[in-house]
Amino acid sequence: MPGLHLSTALVIFAKAPIPGQVKTRLSPPLTPDEAATLHGSFVLDTLERTKAAVGRLKLSMDRYLACSPSTTHVFFKIMEERQGVALIEQVGVDLGARMHQTIETMFSRGYRRTVLLGTDVPTLPLEYFKQALTLLDSHDLALGPALDGGYYLIGMNRSIPELFTNIPWSTDQVLKLTQDQAGQLGLKTALLQPWRDVDTRADLEALIEACTAETQKPKHERVFSDRTAGVLQALAKRLRSRA
């Protein structure tokens, strides 16, 4: 049951894979349907990897899925049933407001730490989740920098609403301004290793290249799920044919 040990809430922020509403910066070169399929596979990857992290690394975390547009969407209901994750609504006028409200909700339920995670890092090492929790033992804030200037993960020991206001979301200033705000508030901040999220064609091509290179490895050493590897291989062929 979520909240049983009230240690850490890990909240995955996700949109339902609705064509035309997800991965819009990848359309073109992808069609809206292709972008939605890729996004849906990423959400599944994130759920599977966080579940694996909890199990293999014995992390004391309750997993939640923060849903947009609604927890009633059939995709999320399937995730709840198959992945054993609790659903909550995303509430707020922008990303910052939605993240802040989610964090407020988790701390109001008695959790000591809250970690928010995006779904655009399908190959994020499991060890990073443990590192984030370890860093929060001695820091107020943990951030996972994305290569585009944003962040893929944010963790904290208490609600800090100032970190989510006056931030130009979806720009290359998000991480820097969040760090600046944290510094002004006197917060002790720790950074995880940077990781590439997938927003642009260049990101997609880098992911396809990494996935292709991984086929040379033994199956047990691969980090891409078979599902996402299949999606990326199909997309690579289609992109080549369109070129």
- pLDDT one-digit tens code per residue, 110-165: 999 999 999 999 999 999 999 999 999 999 999 999 999 999 999 999 999 999 99
Cβ density class 218-237: b for 16+ within 10 Å, e for less: eeeeebbbeebbebbeebbe
Helices and strands of the chain, counted as H and E runs:
7, 7
Statement: residue 169 has pLDDT above 60:
yes
Lookup: tokens for 172? 């290359």
Question: Residue 17: helix, strand or coil by DSSP?
Answer: coil
Partnered with residue 63 across adjacent β-strands are 10
Confidence (pLDDT) at 243 = 78
pTM value? 0.94
Computed on alpha carbons and rounded to an integer, the radius of gyration of the chain in Å comes to 18
Write the DSSP string, 93-134. Answer: SSHHHHHHHHHHHHHHTT-SEEEEE-SS-TT--THHHHHHHH
- pLDDT one-digit tens code per residue, 8-64: 999 999 999 999 999 999 999 999 999 999 999 999 999 999 999 999 999 989 999
Please give the backbone phi and psi of residue 139, each rounded to the nearest 5 degrees, phi first.
-135, 160
Confidence (pLDDT) at 220 = 87
What integer is the mean pLDDT of 57-77? 96
Statement: residue 1 has pLDDT above 90:
no
Reference 96, options 151, 156, 167; nearest CA is 167
Confidence (pLDDT) at 6 = 64
Statement: residue 3 has pLDDT above 50:
no
Lookup: tokens for 161? 């609403």
Report the percent of the chain where pLDDT is more than 90. 94
Statement: residue 206 has pLDDT above 60:
yes
Confidence (pLDDT) at 99 = 98
Question: Residue 190: helix, strand or coil by DSSP?
Answer: strand
Rounded CA separation 210/17 (Å): 23
Rounded CA separation 233/126 (Å): 24
Please give the backbone phi and psi of residue 126, each rounded to the nearest 5 degrees, phi first.
-60, -30
Rounded CA separation 172/149 (Å): 4
What integer is the mean pLDDT of 79-84? 96
Statement: residue 2 has pLDDT above 50:
no
Cβ density class 155-173: b for 16+ within 10 Å, e for less: bbbebbeebbeebeeeeee
Query: In the CATH scheme, what is the code of domain 8-196?
Result: 3.90.550.10
